[in-house]
Chains A and B, each alone.
Chain A
Amino acid sequence: MKILVPFKSVPDPSGTTVPGAAVSAPKSVINPFDEIAIEEALRIRERGEATEIVGVTIGGPATDEQIRFALAMGIDRAIRIDDSRALDPYAVARILRALVEKETPDVVIMGKQAVDDDSNQVGQMLAALLAWPQATFVSKIEFLDNKTRARCTRETDAGLEVIEINLPAIITTDLRLNEPRYVSLPGLMKARRKPIEILTCEQLGVTAQPLTTVLSTTPPPKRVAGTRVESVEELVAKLRQEAKVL
């Protein structure tokens, strides 16, 4: 079985800077949900159910750092689709469809959403474009019937839903699927020697013009420190007058 794991580079959600760096650059990491997808693929391979894991990301040369991280985690090979444009989910899904047609994986596992724009659309769009079954928000994956089907547990608002889908299929991962392993320094050093295949949209024969334009991005307002109230009366008054929730 061959697994394709698309992943996205996002600004580090932990927001940590590197202390002591004379020139500090904003740090990017693999989207945490995608990291869970990579981890799941590795576990499936470790159980002997997969033979190859291919990682793919879309971006400029700067994303090579995240690709090496994925290689260091243990994926077999990586592809970067060289495109630094600000893409929207539909454009990403169309590019990925072209790559899926080229790579012909048995299953695509990816994060349910990226933590930068929280779109939560690419997996579903990719499934629709390929006309493949999909299991989204998955917290457990089992393969059945000689790996022709997958039983997936989905986390929904109503509770856990178990569905069975035919392969090939798209699976998007939720937070509780697993806890990704940490990348070791020897792994990272070895990953530097693994080649990264670079492809362009032209080579894939896809023109994916974004349909949406981001007009502006602003950080959320800073949280202000809380205050201590002396009495229930004061609390209720503040909830009425300041928070306006009562």
Chain B
Amino acid sequence: MLLLVEQILNGLQFGLLLFLLAAGLTLVFGIMDLVNLAHGSLYMMGAYFAATFVAWTGSFVLGAVLALAATLLLGMVLEFTTLRHLYGRDHLDHVLATFGLILFFNEAVRLIWGPAGLALPLPPWLSVPVQILPGIYYPAYRLAIIVVALLVALLLYLGVMRTRIGMLIRAGASNREMIGALGINIKLLYTLVFGLGAALAGLAGLMQAPILTVQIGMGENILILAFVVIVIGGIGSIRGAFLAAIFVGLIDTLGRAFLPNLLRQVLSSASASTAAPALSSMLIYLLMAMVLVVRPEGLFPANRR
């Protein structure tokens, strides 16, 4: 019972992290029609910045805030100098160019911070277990991740649905040419949107850092999952990304936790443990393939043409 509750919470937490990553990706894709493989690199930079700033300032919260600001800035600079030249081009050009950016970022990080990766330790007040239900304990930090991510999701939702800029963003996702025709400063909007996406990615990166890792190439594995999420959810749709991310997070975590035991009925322990994570990863891709076959534009596509 404890295991189930704990794993559901873990799945929720992972899903929310995925959402943060996917939100930026889907916005950029929906509005600027840009396939950005280097989004995972921004996720990595968020983690590296956080580890550096936290060590520098000695405060976890301050370091995190600084890291967010740094990633936002980095994103905007990246868009301004390099990525805006890719708008309007073939998706394949985007893939190739941002693939090149991945290589560049990985090596730059290696040059600056060395090959070994960094550690981001938790402050003591976050390292304790919290009793969420009688007899059921859950680490405080993971709860914090869930809370923060939900808050950000809420803010994002309100921002996109209730503000003027949000309206422009939604309009841009539906019909890009129109907002240009309306006389809005498109370039500035694009830069801001990209910066926002980068900050969200950086937030995801820095939040998972104390639990998992800060290392070179950490963005590649999770990037693929983020793409799966936005494809399932529908490109350009934040709501779609949210639902799809939670779903994917839950399937992945629950699969890894419970499949080995199921498989152990028929296979040896080591074989079951080899097959189980493979199977649960496959489930996610299978899900995406099924969604695409049935609804080729995803579950909640923003483009309604």
Partners in one complex: no
Taking Cβ atoms with an 8 Å cutoff, the residues of B that contact A are: none
